[in-house]
Chain A
Amino acid sequence: MSSEPILTLTNVAKSFGGLQVLSDVNFELKPGEILGLVGPNGSGKTSVINLISGVHQPEAGSIRFDGAEIQRLTPHARVKLGINRSFQVPKCFISMSVRENIEVAAHFSGHNADIPAILDDIGLTGMEATPAASLTANQQKMLDLGRALATGPKLLLVDEIGAGLNPAELTGIADLLKRIAARGISMIVVEHLMEFLNKLTSRVIVLSAGKIIFEGSLEDASHDPEVVTAFFGGAA
């Protein structure tokens, strides 16, 4: 049933040492939906992605994906279920070529990836043999995304892929993410750039100091006093 959520977070909490990084995080994502995740620096956006992808484990709450609880699974097991992500700071396999970066993910996930199509998506066609180490930072971000796509995800978590791009490049990435979503892949997009998010989705969640302070349309968020305070008013 397409109206069943593909992802549900219930009362999720995470702390590092004494620092409470996330508390009482609750939200849902529908299949094929793009959800924007915004918030000031250090508000916990990347942590949400780390918990969903299994890089970190929550100490409370549950994460359901495709009808099953996943919060105790290893990251690679979650990848096989159909979750993947890109990294805010790209993490490519730097001793490998562009093609090998994608191949290795396709192979281990068991997904029959269309590698030329992925290379085309991420704008690296013709650079298959280029060492990942000699790509520009932006190209490495795209390769990171290509690695994620190669595993055939149903849910893609995109962490600040627009940072450092010029307006033309941003439009290109927004179009790419829309094309990916049109294939039925759900997405959580973490982004500081509001115009960029505006092109992708109308539904956003705003995090501040590890709590969800707003959920709704981007338009309403910009008029919400609590959101405005969180972003511009110093301490929330």
Chain B
Amino acid sequence: MRESWFKRARAGLITAAVLALVFSLAPNVYNNSSLLFMMMTYIVLSQGLNLLYGFTGYLPFGYVGFFGTGAYATALLVMKLHLPIGLAIAAGPIASMIVALVLGPLLRLSGAYFSIANLAASQILFIVIGNPNLQDITGGPYGVKIDEVYNPTASYAAMVVLVVVVTLIATFFRRSRFGQGLKAMADDPVSAEMSAIPVVRMRLLAWLTSAAVAGLAGALYAWNLSVFYPDAVFTLEISVFAIVFALFGGVGTVLGPIIGAGLLYALYNAIGISEPQYFQLIYGVLIVGLVMFLPEGILSLLTRRGINVF
């Protein structure tokens, strides 16, 4: 017999509640709320990337493209059309899903071809938005400014909500038949079709969900920052961080990306900003060590001992 819906979701509900509590209370004891905001942003991005990579095997090097699209959609709608911030934020994930739909055919590529094509697509977006000739429309290289809606408290609270939402989406992927179907497709797409799984449609759905998560994160980031240049939301570093954080914790799980992003982003702040040269060294060693000894992330230390990681 299959467990009840509540029982399957329980670990996810607890995780989401703990995250909500921690990030709601943290500003009271730690006054660098922009660091906390960025940590949440990376938890969301790592988890959003995990929805695609951890469950379908498609690794989107250009994941940052969806983040930047969401950020720019929100900022430009406020700047040019003076939309209320709530509506402008809702437009972020819609814009990134439209980009994902246009890029849908990339899902026909496999492995490294997909990753590289996606990377190229994100860089094209970056170049177009940062193009000086489009300055009247996109702000070009000088970026965008929406300081009239600047609200650090509200945008922080909204990011806490997004962390909760994305944790629940990941729980659904981890514990539902839908997620099991995605796993089957990743194992063997032909056998998955012969198990009545609509492979193309489900893969597209995972892609759109993953894009929407990054788009919404970008929208909230734009609101929180309110002034930014194109490279702040399109830099490849964001993709790299999301990938490394998710892999470090362990993809295909709910906890992995949360732990990976939490730990590594904290480490990045502890040493990366004051002494970037050591940070690069430590990061390099970490990545090499990860690939060599723990290719399935730190949570695989538990999995190997037969502990079923959520």
Task: Pick the contact of A104: B184, B198, B199, B200 (CB < 8 A).
Answer: B184
Contact indicator per residue, chain B 142-173, by CB within 8 Å of chain A (1) or not (0): 00000000000000000000000000000000
Q: B92-100, B104-112, B187-195, B282-290: which one contacts chain A? A: B187-195
Task: List which A143-178 residues lie within 8 A (CB) of chain B.
Answer: 144, 147-148, 150-151
B188 to chain A, nearest CB (A): 5
Task: Pick the contact of B191: A54, A93, A107 (CB < 8 A).
Answer: A93
| A108 proximity list for chain B (CB < 8 A) | 177, 181, 195-197
Contact indicator per residue, chain B 181-224, by CB within 8 Å of chain A (1) or not (0): 10110111011111111111000000000000000000000000
| A210 proximity list for chain B (CB < 8 A) | none
Q: Which residue of B is nearest A53, CB measured?
A: B194
Query: Is A91 located at the chain interface by the 8 A CB criterion?
Result: yes
Bound complex: CA of A110 vs CA of B198, how far in Å?
Answer: 13
Contact indicator per residue, chain A 69-109, by CB within 8 Å of chain B (1) or not (0): 00000111001100011010001111110001001110111
- A76 contacts B188, CB within 8 Å? no
| B193 proximity list for chain A (CB < 8 A) | 54-55, 74-76, 79
- B183 contacts A110, CB within 8 Å? no
Bound complex: CA of A71 vs CA of B181, how far in Å?
Answer: 25
| B192 proximity list for chain A (CB < 8 A) | 93
Give how many A-B residue pairs fall within 8 Å (CB-CB). 78
| B133 proximity list for chain A (CB < 8 A) | none
| B183 proximity list for chain A (CB < 8 A) | 93, 95-96
Known contacts A96-B184, A100-B180, A104-B184: A80-B196 contact under CB 8 Å: yes
Q: Which of A104, A105, A109, A110 has the most CB of B within 10 A?
A: A104
Q: Which of A53, A75, A84, A107 has the most CB of B within 10 A?
A: A75
| B190 proximity list for chain A (CB < 8 A) | 55, 75, 87, 91
- A147 contacts B194, CB within 8 Å? yes
Known contacts A95-B183, A96-B184, A96-B187: A104-B194 contact under CB 8 Å: no
Q: Which of B177, B184, B188, B195 has the most CB of A within 10 A?
A: B195
- B196 contacts A151, CB within 8 Å? yes
Task: Pick the contact of B194: A79, A95, A100 (CB < 8 A).
Answer: A79
Bound complex: CA of A85 vs CA of B191, how far in Å?
Answer: 9
Bound complex: CA of A161 vs CA of B271, how far in Å?
Answer: 59
| A94 proximity list for chain B (CB < 8 A) | 187-188
- B188 contacts A91, CB within 8 Å? yes
| B195 proximity list for chain A (CB < 8 A) | 76, 79, 104-105, 108-109, 147, 150-151
| A110 proximity list for chain B (CB < 8 A) | 196
- A92 contacts B188, CB within 8 Å? yes
- A104 contacts B188, CB within 8 Å? no
- B180 contacts A76, CB within 8 Å? no
- B194 contacts A107, CB within 8 Å? no
| A80 proximity list for chain B (CB < 8 A) | 196
A196 to chain B, nearest CB (A): 23
| A53 proximity list for chain B (CB < 8 A) | 194
Bound complex: CA of A229 vs CA of B196, how far in Å?
Answer: 41
Task: Pick the contact of A147: B180, B181, B191, B200 (CB < 8 A).
Answer: B191
| B181 proximity list for chain A (CB < 8 A) | 104, 107-108
A132 to chain B, nearest CB (A): 9
Known contacts A76-B199, A104-B180, A107-B177: A93-B188 contact under CB 8 Å: yes
| A104 proximity list for chain B (CB < 8 A) | 177, 180-181, 184, 195, 197
- B191 contacts A91, CB within 8 Å? yes
Q: Which residue of A is nearest B195, CB measured?
A: A105
- B194 contacts A148, CB within 8 Å? yes
Q: Which residue of B is nearest A83, CB measured?
A: B194
Bound complex: CA of A91 vs CA of B180, how far in Å?
Answer: 16
| B196 proximity list for chain A (CB < 8 A) | 76, 79-80, 105, 108-110, 151
Q: Which residue of A is nearest B200, CB measured?
A: A74
B143 to chain A, nearest CB (A): 44
Other than the given A79-B196, A91-B190, A150-B195, 15 more pairs (CB < 8 A) read: A53-B194, A55-B190, A75-B190, A75-B193, A76-B193, A76-B195, A79-B193, A79-B194, A91-B188, A93-B184, A93-B191, A95-B186, A96-B187, A104-B184, A151-B196
Q: Which 5 A-B pairs have the closest CB atoms?
A: A105-B195, A109-B196, A75-B193, A108-B196, A91-B191
Residues of B within 8 A of A (CB): 177, 180-181, 183-184, 186-188, 190-200
